[in-house]
Structure 1
Amino acid sequence: MDEKWSTANIPDQRGRVAVVTGANTGLGYETARALAGRGASVVLAVRDAGKGRQAAARMTGDVTVQELDLTSLDSVRTAAAALRSRLGRLDLLINNAGVMYTPKQSTRDGFEMQFGTNHLGHFALTGLLLDLMLPVPGSRVVTVSSTGHRIRAGIHFDDPQWERSYSRVGAYGQSKLANLMFTYELQRRLTPHGTTVAVAAHPGISSTELMRNTPAALRLPVTWLAPLITQTAAMGALPTLRAATDPAVLGGQYYGPGGRNQVKGHPRLVTSSPQSYDVAVQQRLWALSEDLTGVRFPLGAPLSTAPR
C-alpha cells in the first residue's frame, strides 16, 4: 500500500469535519473533493466566496463555503469567528492556500505577500481554530509546504518582509521553509495534549494555477519539460490527503511524492532540508509570528526549548 497509496486508501471520513484553505481550485479543490467523497463535512475556506460556491457545486457530499482572505488578519479573525460559531468540532485543518513567485507586493497588514499569505495567515488561522481541535482525538493540522523550501531559502529575521531587496524565489523559499518550521514547532507544543498532531506535505511539481507567476527565464523550460516533470493536481493532492487521513501518520512527519527527487508519484514519508529541523530557529520564528499576528496559541511552552 505504501508505494501506491491513493484516494482508494482514504478511510471512511463520516463524522469528521474538515476546513481546507484555497479549496476552490487546484490542490485544495482535489483535497476537499476527496475528503467530501469519503463522507467528511468539508468547509471550503476561500477568498472568493462565489468561486467557492461554484467549486462546492461540483463536489459530492456535505460541502459549504467560508470566505477567508489570508492576506488580511482582519479577514482571518472574522473567518475564524464564523467557523467557531458554526462548527462544534474540527477534525482536520488543511493549510493549503498559497501564492508563488509573486512580484514585490504587501498584504493588507504590510507583510511581504508570500510570507504573509503562505505562513502568517495560516499561523493565525491555526491559532484561532485550535481550541476546536484539541478536544478531538485524532485531529490533525496539515500544512502544505514545497520543494521550494530548499531553494534560496532561509528565515530572514533581519528583514523578514524583504524591504531592503526582493527576490521572488527567495521570498517563496522563506515562506515554504516557514511552513515546515511551523509544523515541527507546533507538533512539539501539541505533544503534551495527546489529541491533535501537526503534519506537513508537499505536492512535488503539479500542474496548477500556482505556477502562473513563474519568472520568465524559467517559464519556457518548465513548459517544455512539463510532461516529464509535472503531475496532475489530483496526484499532487495525495501527499496532503495521506497526511490528513492515513492512520499510520505520526505528528511531525512530512509527506511528498515518492518518485525521483520527490517531483511526482504516489505519496510516501519524506524528509525536509537540514535547516528546517533547527529547533532554535523554529522557536525564534514562532515568537516572530506571534508578534506579527498578535495570535497566541492555547498551548503551553514546547516540551524542549532552545536559546533564541
Structure 2
Amino acid sequence: MSDSWSELNIPDQQGRVAVVTGANTGLGFETARALAEHGASVVLAVRDVEKGKQAADRITGDVTVQELDLTSLDSIRTAAATLRATHPRIDLLINNAGVMYTPKRTTHDGFELQFGTNHLGHFALTGLLLDRLLPVPGSRVVTVSSTGHRIQAAIHFDDLQWERSYSRIGAYGQSKLANLMFTYELQRRLASHGTLAVAAHPGVSNTELVRNAPAALRLPVTWLAPLITQPAASGALPTLRAATDPAVRGAQYYGPGGRGELRGHPRLVASSPASHDTVTQKRLWSVSEDLTGVHFPI
C-alpha cells in the first residue's frame, strides 16, 4: 500500500452511490466533495437541511440532501425509508457524523448524547440500509472512529448511559470504542457477503468538533492548532482510502501515518487491544439491537 495516498489515488466512482452522514461541514463535507468530484452520486445526510443545501451548492457533481437527525430513531427510520425508496442500491455508507465532549445531555430517545449519536444512531442507520448494500459488488460501510477510543478501556454496560456519573471525555471515548467494536463485529457477520466493514480516524483535524471540549483542553488545542492539526481535507483522507482503495480489506482501520497518528497521509493503523475483545463486541451488538429495535438482515 502506498504511503503517500491522496485524493489523486481515488479510483473512478462513476455509477456508485454514496451516503455520507454529517456532510454539510468539516470531514463529512470533504469526504462528500471528493467522492462527488470522482463521479459518485452523493447523498448528504444532515440534520440541518438548509445547511446541507448550502454545502451541496459548493460541490461539483451529482449531490442531493437527505434530512437525518441521528439523535432521533424516528428521524433515522424516516431517512432510511426515503433512501430505500429513492436508491435501490447503495455502494458506500460513510458513518461520519459525530459529537465530541458535549455537556451531559440525552438524545430524543433518552440515550447519552455521544453514545446515542456516534454509535447507536449509526448502528440503526446501517441496519436499516444494509440490504441496499449487500447485493452491490464492492460495497462498503465505513465508520469514523478516533484515537480517543483509547481513552476508554471498556464499554461500561453497568452504566451505559452515564446516569450515575458523567465524564464528557470518557463518554466520547466509549462512543468511539463502540464505533470500532461495531465495525469488527459487523465484518464478522458480513464474512459470507461481499460488503466490507472498515473504520477510519482523522487524526487531529481543524474542524468544529472540538467546540464542546472543556476550556482547559480547548485552549491548548487552539494555540497549538498550526503545529498539530491538519486541514479537514487531509483529515478526510483515511475515510476516503477506507471507502475507495481496492486493496482495503474488511475490519481494517485507517488513520494518518505521521507521528502519533496526528496528521499525514492515510495508512493502515492499529486500534487498542480493548477494541478487539470479541465477547464485548457481541454483547455490545446485542445491547444495541435491544436499544434501537433494529435487527440486521445478516
After superposition, give the CA deviation of every residue in 1:197-243 in whole Å (9 maximum; x if it has no partner): 10000000001010101111112211221111110000000000000
Counterpart secondary structure, 1:182: helix
Residue in 2 aligned with 1:198? 197
Unaligned runs of 5+ in 2: none
- Measure the CA separation in 1 of the matches of 2:198 and 2:48: 27
Partners of 1:247 and 1:185 in 2: CA distance: 22
Structure 1: give runs of 5+ residues left out of the alignment: 300-308
Q: State the distance in 2 between where 1:142 and 1:114 align.
A: 19
TM-superposed deviation, 1:152: 3.5
Q: Deviations over 1:51-71 (max 9, x none)?
A: 000000000000000000000
**1:14 aligned partner, one-letter code:** Q
Does 2:14 match 1:20? no
2:22 is the counterpart of 1:4: no
Q: Which amino acid aligns with 2:224?
A: L
2:69 and 2:283 map into 1 onto residues whose CA distance is 26
> In the alignment, what sits opposite 2:250?
251
Letter in 2 for 1:235: S
Matches for 1:269-280 after TM superposition, within 5 Å = 269-280=268-279
State the AA in 2 paired with 1:143.
T
Letter in 2 for 1:81: A
Matched residue, 1:96: 96
Q: Counterpart in 2 of 1:47?
A: 47
Specify the alignment match of 2:110 in structure 1: 110
Q: What residue number does 2:29 align with?
A: 29
Instruction: Please say if residues 13 and 39 of structure 2, whose CA atoms lie closer than 8 Å, have aligned partners that are also in contact.
Output: yes
1:76 maps to 2:76: yes
Contact 1:153–1:170, Cα closer than 8 Å, also in 2: no
In structure 1, what is the equivalent of residue 155 of structure 2? 155
Distance 1:124 1:223 in 2: 34
- Cα distance in 1 for partners of 2:83, 2:123 equals 16
> Is 1:263–2:262 an aligned residue pair?
yes
Paired residue for 2:280?
281
CA distance in 2, matches of 1:267, 1:223: 24
| 2:235 matched residue in structure 1 | 236
Shift of 1:154: 2.3
Structure 2 SS opposite 1:97: coil
Query: SS at the partner of 2:158?
Result: coil
* Residue deviations 1:56-110 (CA, integer Å, cap 9, x gap): 0000000000000000000000000000000010000000000000000000000
Partners of 1:117 and 1:146 lie apart in 2 by 15
Deviations 1:163-206 (A, max 9, x none): 0000000000000000000000000000112x101000000000
The equivalences for 1:210-225 within 5 A come to: 210-225=209-224
> What is the alpha-carbon distance in structure 2 between the residues aligned to residue 74 and residue 88 of structure 1?
21
Does the CA-based 8 Å contact 1:201-1:243 persist in structure 2? Answer: yes
SS at match of 1:191: coil
Is residue 64 of structure 2 the alignment partner of residue 64 of structure 1? Answer: yes
Identity of aligned residues (%): 81
Q: Provide the rounded CA distance (Å) in 1 between the counterparts of 2:16 and 2:223.
A: 42
Whether the 8 Å contact between 2:198 and 2:252 is mirrored in structure 1 is yes
Give the aligned length: 298
Q: Is this contact kept in 2: 1:154–1:173, CA < 8 A?
A: no
Is 1:295 the counterpart of 2:294 in the alignment? yes
Matched with 1:304 is none
Return structure 1 stretches of 4+ with deviation > 4 angstroms: none
Query: Which residue identity does 1:264 align to in structure 2?
Result: R
TM-score, scaled to structure 2: 0.99
Report the equivalent of 1:303. none
Residue 306 of structure 1 is matched in structure 2 by none
The correspondence of residues 179-190 of structure 1 with structure 2, limited to 5 A, is: 179-190=179-190
SS class of match (2:192): helix
Moved more, 11-20 or 211-220: 211-220
Measure the CA separation in 2 of the matches of 1:54 and 1:222.
29
- Give the match's secondary structure for 1:284: helix
- RMSD of the alignment, in Å? 0.7
The Cα offsets for residues 284-308 of structure 1, whole Å up to 9 and x where unpaired, read as: 0000000000000000xxxxxxxxx
Deviations 1:238-269 (A, max 9, x none): 00000000000000000000000100000000
**1:153, distance to aligned residue in structure 2 (A):** 4.3
| Contact residue 44 and residue 65 of structure 1 kept, 8 A | yes
Q: Which moved more, 1:149-158 or 1:278-287?
A: 149-158
The letter of the residue matching 1:80 is A
Residue 45 of structure 2: SS of its match in structure 1?
A: strand
Between the aligned partners of 2:229 and 2:149, the Cα distance in structure 1 is 18
